[in-house]
Amino acid sequence: MFTSGTDRKPRSPVKTAAAHLAVSILCVVITNVYALFGHGVRSDSMDFMFLYPLLGGSAVFLLAARLRPVLRKKTRGISRAGYNLYNSGIAALTSAALLTEIMEIAGSDSRMIQYIRIAGIVLIITAIARRIAASLRQRD
């Protein structure tokens, strides 16, 4: 059996958008269930946690699916590494929002959450930079 992470292509943008939509729905469910046991304490970070996978994931990948015929003529598409970096960035930002709420309800604080948030932003910026660099190389 042969497995390789370099030969696989990213899944289609529509399937990825559907997965991010499912994660958004899961975030809404988690927020409401957690609010029941949170002793009335709510946080904006958790209330709006679903926006990371919804806007950053579903909306971006649906837009990519819509623009796919135009982009395919000009570029080869997104690389697997860029795809993984972007999705990991969205996951890190969503996790940071969840951890922020947990810390607020517990009445404590942690600097690690800021590091996770920064890592998420860096991952997304890196994925976008890789995509732009690949587009520029493709034109040459």
In the chain, where are the structural domains located?
A: 13-139
Residue whose C-alpha is closest to residue 53's, from 74, 27, 83, 80? 27
How far is it, in rounded angstroms, from Cα 53 to Cα 33? 19
The highest-confidence range among 13-17, 87-91, 132-136, by mean pLDDT, is 87-91
33 pLDDT above the threshold of 60? yes
Residue whose C-alpha is closest to residue 68's, from 76, 56, 58, 79? 76
82 pLDDT above the threshold of 70? yes
